[in-house]
Amino acid sequence: MENCIFCSIINGDIPAEKLYEDDQVLAFKDVNAQAPEHFLVIPKIHISTVNDATDEALLGRMNITASNIAKEHGFAEKGYRLVMNCNSDGGQTVSHIHLHCLGGRQMTWPPG
Ligand code: AMP
């Protein structure tokens, strides 16, 4: 989709520090990391919010991709947090769904 920063990353128009890619999903480091480990997993098709998502397998793939990367990077056993923000109250700033994976430190609850 035009004017979507994450579609531009998928297309290669904007650089990103990629961690994993297949035909359906892309994972890359968050530019504004909120934890020692912070990456995003996005679908390669444009879906604006999780309210618009209908493909259960794709959402499952995003989660499994995140856990696989956490395992590969050695912080899965200690733990991590997976978050998908939705719309303004959820704090979503990029309108292309993305799963945050945060780790490498103790998470607090509730989040701000
Ligand atoms: P959210 O607030 O849930 O929509 O999260 C959007 C996330 O995308 C933020 O954590 C940003 O730091 C991150 N972000 C925005 N632009 C980029 C980019 N070009 N490369 C990597 N991460 C980005």
Query: In this structure, what token pair is assigned to residue 59?
Result: 């959402």
- Atom 17 in ligand 1: which residue has the minimum CA distance? 31
- The CA-based angle 73-77-80, given to 5 degrees, is 75
Q: What's 28's domain CATH number?
A: 3.30.428.10
What average pLDDT does the chain have? 97
Total domains present in the chain: 1
Predicted TM-score of the model (pTM) = 0.98
Neighbours of 107 (CB within 10 A): 13
Catalytic annotation on 46?
no
Q: Quick check: CB of 95 below 6 Å from ligand 1? A: no
Q: Quick check: CB of 32 below 6 Å from ligand 1? A: yes
Q: How far apart are the first and last CA of the chain?
A: 30
> Looking at the domain assignment, is residue 46 inside a domain?
yes
The average pLDDT across 17-41 equals 98
The average pLDDT across 3-23 equals 98
> Looking at the domain assignment, is residue 71 inside a domain?
yes
Q: Quick check: CB of 97 below 6 Å from ligand 1? A: no
